[in-house]
Amino acid sequence: MTPNRPPVSEPTIVPKPWGREIWYAHEDRYAGKILEVDKGHALSLQKHERKQETMYLQSGRLLYHFNGEDFEMRPGQCITVRPGDVHRIEALEDATILEVSTPELDDVIRLEDRYGRSTGQ
């Protein structure tokens, strides 16, 4: 390795019942993930105490549940979720979402989950 070249690594793949997460950055100040959500599946209805995240829908279509409102997201749209916001992603088509957030990846308070998971799974 040359002294000026940063180390290259492989991302962490995290299987989920709704698809998978690809963690490509988990630093002290931020995290970066790719969410691949299969059509007809949904993430937990959840909120965070500390974590803030911004998501960009790269492909597919989503039904987004946000603080009691439902709306459809299409490719090219973004949403920012702040601590305390109640939210859920549901894939109307296979979807790829780019997410950047604060680093508290396990800050998940599940309010409802189709797959029987509890907080933090």
Identify the structural domains of the chain with CATH numbers, from first to last: 12-102 (2.60.120.10)
Distance CA 15, CA 44 (A): 15
Flag the least confident range among 3-12, 36-45, 53-62, 70-79: 3-12
pLDDT tens per residue across span 54-92: 999 999 999 999 999 999 999 999 999 999 999 999 999
CB 84 within 8 Å of CB 95: no
CA dihedral sign of residues 22, 120, 110, 82: negative
pTM of the model: 0.90
Residue 28 has pLDDT above 60, yes or no: yes
